[in-house]
Amino acid sequence: MNTRLRSILSWCDQRHIAQKYGFFRGCDPALEAHVTRIYHVMRRPEAVTDVDDEWVTRMETIIRKLN
């Protein structure tokens, strides 16, 4: 899970996306249900666990669609 999140963060950094949650929430409003957890994990990527699979998968799907 950690590797998956780091690849998402790296993708955002390469595209100079500073407001990561805002960007992904604009693409998928369903992410709002996970807002507290996303903010926590974005500040501390090592805190990601299997519980976060749903929103990590949603972000990966957005990235695949945009690439």
In whole angstroms, give the CA distance from residue 45 to residue 66: 23
Task: Write down the pLDDT at residue 26.
Answer: 96
SS3 content of the chain, % helix, strand, coil (to 5): 85, 0, 15
Residue 35 near residue 56 (C-beta atoms within 8 A): no
Domain holding 32, by residue range, is 2-66
In whole angstroms, give the CA distance from residue 51 to residue 57: 11
**Which pLDDT tens digit goes with each residue over 2-31?**
999 999 999 999 999 999 999 999 999 999
Residue 31 near residue 58 (C-beta atoms within 8 A): yes
- The mean per-residue pLDDT over the stretch 42-60 comes to 95
- The mean per-residue pLDDT over the stretch 33-56 comes to 94
Domain count, the chain: 1
| Residue 56: how many other CB atoms lie within 10 Å | 20
